Amino acid sequence: MVIFAEFSGSNFGVTLKNSEEADKILAKAVNFKRISKDECIKLLKFACPSELFYTANYIREKLFGNKTTFSVNRHINYSNICENRCLFCAFRKEDGSKEAKRLTIESILNDIEKMRDLPNLEIHITGGLDSQFSLKDALNLVKGIKEIKGDAIIKAFTMVEIDFFSRTSGISDFDVIKKLKEAGVSAFPGGGAEIFSEEIRKRISPRKIDGQRWLALSKTAHKLGVPSNATMLYGIGETEEEIADHLDRLRTLQDETKGFMSFIPLLFQKENTPLHTLKELSLIKQLKIYAVSRIFLDNIGHIKNHWVMSGLKSAELSQWCGVDDLEGTVVEERIGHEGGAKTPIGMTKDEIVRLIKSAGRIPVERDGLYRKTKKGDGKTVPEHKGKGE
């Protein structure tokens, strides 16, 4: 490690000092000691990428060996009409415009019918805040899916949608979540967290619920026994301090509830948005986010690469920088692709298996709750659910 420190810092005394400090933080992480928010900022700013990746990979392999998990899943976006107007969102369309698309419950159920025989299916449902899609519709949709495919794991509705259902139905958050759970929702997706920084949110999504509300709703879900994922939108001009703050708020809640299954950094897709002039992040910077997340989030089980937004190169390489889980087959992705994502809108199971193998990892199929599946490609699924579990 010292060799790298000397190399990376040999030009400037200040950098050398900072790099040596980053080395000490990495040595702490290798010994599975928790690092502080301040130390997280220092890693983001000063750590030599190769040492950072080495450390994150060391931790990842201690937890999961050579395995990378994935699931067979189907994304459904029931409506792209939304009362919010987040600047980073190319998915939202104006009601009545030619691109507006509102799926009927019947058409969604017809699609599910075609997947009736697919084993271990995870159904991922999200949409805009559409006044024509009420809590009642959400419950009918979930119940309808369960009637057709009782064994499907339904991961549906972000905290932003739950807040919307609560506001529009006049029912408390607690009761909305309870009803969704009773209808058949097994987990909640991690979207809508964006980045918790009040400053950035004011700029890019002023109408959206704030970070505190997102965390409070996640806490209620976890208390009711419904796990969820957590995301972070990055590449929108955030600082290292803002990234560390986001991770820190998630880690603090996870200490209390242990309800987050995975953390998913989401790379901003800028096309067709007013933020299209923002500079693209280098692949190294993207990989650093995964590595620091693996090191800092010692209580969240899985670090996932959402290949739809990050790209297939990142999906491959990140498996050596802390990532142990890839987004699944998806089938028809719309949110990232409206923003210019260059990836396929879905992949077959064979293609994902090949992607994992091409990185030199062993593919293991899991279900929507990170449990071992009966007919997965690997032998066992990693059981790690975070420190202290």
Q: By C-beta, is 297 or 330 nearer to ligand SF4?
A: 330
- The reply on whether position 257 binds ligand SF4 by CB under 6 A is no
Binding mask 25-64 for ligand SF4 (x = CB under 6 A): ----------------------------------------
> In the numeric block, which tokens belong to residue 142?
């979930």
Paired strand residues for 230: 263
Q: By C-beta, is 48 or 159 nearer to ligand SF4?
A: 159
Q: By C-beta, is 91 or 157 nearer to ligand SF4?
A: 91
Q: Which of 15, 57, 84, 373 binds ligand SF4 (CB under 6 A)?
A: 84
- The reply on whether position 201 binds ligand SF4 by CB under 6 A is no
Paired strand residues for 46: none
Specify the amino acid at residue 315.
Answer: A
Q: By C-beta, is 336 or 382 nearer to ligand SF4?
A: 336
Q: By C-beta, is 288 or 334 nearer to ligand SF4?
A: 334
- The reply on whether position 168 binds ligand SF4 by CB under 6 A is no
Stretch that binds ligand SF4, among 83-91, 100-108, 253-261, 339-347 (CB under 6 A): 83-91
Instruction: Give exposure, 129-162, as e/b (b: 16+ Cβ within 10 Å).
Output: bbeebebebbbebbebbbeebeebbbbbbbbbbb
Paired strand residues for 75: 124
Q: How far is the CB of 214 from ligand SF4 (least distance, A)?
A: 12
- In the numeric block, the tokens 């905290």 are attached to 159
Q: How far is the CB of 209 from ligand SF4 (least distance, A)?
A: 9
DSSP letters for 198-257: HHHHHHH-TTS--HHHHHHHHHHHHHTT--EEEEEEESSS--HHHHHHHHHHHHHHHHHH
Q: By C-beta, is 160 or 315 nearer to ligand SF4?
A: 160
Q: Which of 42, 75, 92, 179 binds ligand SF4 (CB under 6 A)?
A: 92
Q: How far is the CB of 25 from ligand SF4 (least distance, A)?
A: 34
Paired strand residues for 126: 77
> In the numeric block, which tokens belong to residue 313?
């190169």
Q: Measured on CA atoms in the order 126, 129, 133, 134, is the torsion positive or negative?
A: positive
Residues that bind ligand SF4 (CB under 6 A): 82, 84-86, 89, 91-92, 128-129, 160, 205, 208
